[in-house]
Amino acid sequence: MAAETLAGALTDIIRIGGETMPEAPEKNLALDIVRITEAAALSSARWLGRGNKEAGDGAAVDAMRNSFSTLHVDGIVVIGEGEKDHAPMLYNGESVGMGDGPQLDVAVDPVEGTSLLAYGRPNAISTVAVAPRGSMFNPGPSYYMQKLVVAREARDVIDLDAPVAVNLNNVARALDKNVQDLVVFVLDKPRHKKLIEDIRSTGARIQLHTDGDVAGALMAVDPRSEVDIMMGTGGTPEGVLAACAIKGMGGQILARLDPQSYVEKEAINEAGIDIREVLTVHDLVRSDDCFFAATGISGGDFLRGVRYSARHAVTHSLVLRGKTGTLRYVESYHNMDRLSKISAVQY
C-alpha cells in the first residue's frame, strides 16, 4: 500500500518554491495492450487463407479475452465486436481486465479485415485502444461514418464539406507535393463511385482496398507509409478506434455519421445523436492519455504479417502513447514451444 501511495504521489504535479515541475512518467499501457494484439494475431493467423472468417475471428476474440484477464485494469468495452458483422462477441459494455487498476474505455477489433484474413489478402490486423473512462465517443447504433484522415502536416487545412479537389490541393501544398504525387486510400465500395471519379479528375493517385478501415487511417498518418490521405465512408466503431492512433501521431480525422439505411438513420435519431455534426479527433477521443496497439496478421503495406519459423513465430506491431506522442514499431520473436506450455491462449 505504501508503494502504491508513493507511486500515486509521483504522478501528481509537484510544486517546489512556487514553480510547477513536470509530471513524473506514468505506466505505458501501450506496452501491455500490444501483448493482447500479438496474442490475437498469433491465434488468428493460423486461419490465413482458409476461407473461414468466423473461425479466424473467433480465435482472435478468445485470445483477446484471455489476455485481457491478466491486466490490472478496470475496463469497459465501448467499441467491441458487434451485430453488424454477426461476429463472436467482445460485446459493448463487457467488463475486461482484473478490475483492480485504472478505469478505462476499451476499443477492440480482434481482426480488422476478416475477409482479408479468410482469403489471404494483405492488411488484416488486430487492434486495441484504451483511454480514461468516459473519454471515447460512443457511436450507439451508428455503423457508418464519413471520414477524412491526414497526418500532422495537413491537419489544419482540411474541411469535410469542401470539394474533393480543394482538399487534395490544400493537402498537397501542406505536404509540399504536387497533387499528382498524392496517394489517397479509398475503400472499393459502390458508395464511393463519385468520390473515386472526383479524385481521379484531380490527377491524384488512389489505393483501392476492399477492407481495412482502421488500417487505412493508420496508413494516412504513419510517417513510413506512402498513403497521404484517407477519404470516404467506413465504420463508425473503426473511426473511434483509429482516432486513438491518429491523436497519438498528431494527425486529424474529420468525421460525420453517414447511415447507409433508413433503419440505421432512425435508430441514430432516436438515440439523440446529431447526424449533421462534424467530429474531430478530439471529439472521438477526449483525452490525450490514450494508448493504441496494432499487430499485423496477414502481410501488408505497413505491418508485416505473422511469420513462422522452425522455433519462433514473428510478429510486427505498432504501439502508440497519446500523451507523449511516442510511436514504436515492435518486432517480437515468440518461442512457441515455451509459450504454449504456460499460456491459456490456443496458438
Closest CA to 188 of 266, 123, 280, 248: 123
212 assigned to a ligand binding site: yes
Q: Is 4 annotated for ligand binding?
A: no
Say whether 153 counts as a known binding-site residue. Answer: no
- The answer to whether the CB of 343 falls within 8 A of the CB of 336 is no
What element of type H or E holds 59? helix 53-68
194 among annotated binding-site residues: no
Task: Find out whether 176 is annotated in a ligand binding site.
Answer: no
Cβ pair 257, 276 in contact under 8 A: no
Tell me whether strands 15-16 and 19-20 are parallel, antiparallel or unpaired: antiparallel
Residues 155 and 207: their CA atoms lie apart, in Å, by 21
**134 annotated as a binding-site residue:** no
DSSP annotation of 51: S
Please give the grid coordinates belonging to residue 141.
447504433
Residue 211 assigned to a binding site = yes
27 is in an annotated binding site: no
- Under 8 Å CB-to-CB from 293, ≥6 apart: which residues? 30, 33, 34, 36, 37, 127, 128, 129, 317, 318, 319, 320
Residue 277 assigned as binding residue = no
DSSP string, 148-196: EEE-GGGTTS--TTS-HHHHHHHHHHHTT--GGG-EEEEE--GGGHHHH
The response to whether 324 counts as a known ligand-binding position is no
- Residues 144 and 260: beta-carbon distance below 8 Å: yes
C-alpha cell at 81: 465486436
Name which of 204, 243, 248 is nearest 226 in CA terms.
204
109 is in an annotated binding site: yes
- Size (the chain), residues: 347
Distance CA 257, CA 273 (A): 9
Instruction: Tell me the CA distances in angstroms from 42 to 221, 311, 317, 325, 337, one per residue in order.
Output: 26, 14, 12, 27, 13
Positions at the binding site for Mn(2+): 57, 81, 109, 112, 238
Positions at the binding site for substrate: 112-114, 144, 189-191, 211-213, 235
Positions at the binding site: 57, 81, 109, 112-114, 144, 189-191, 211-213, 235, 238
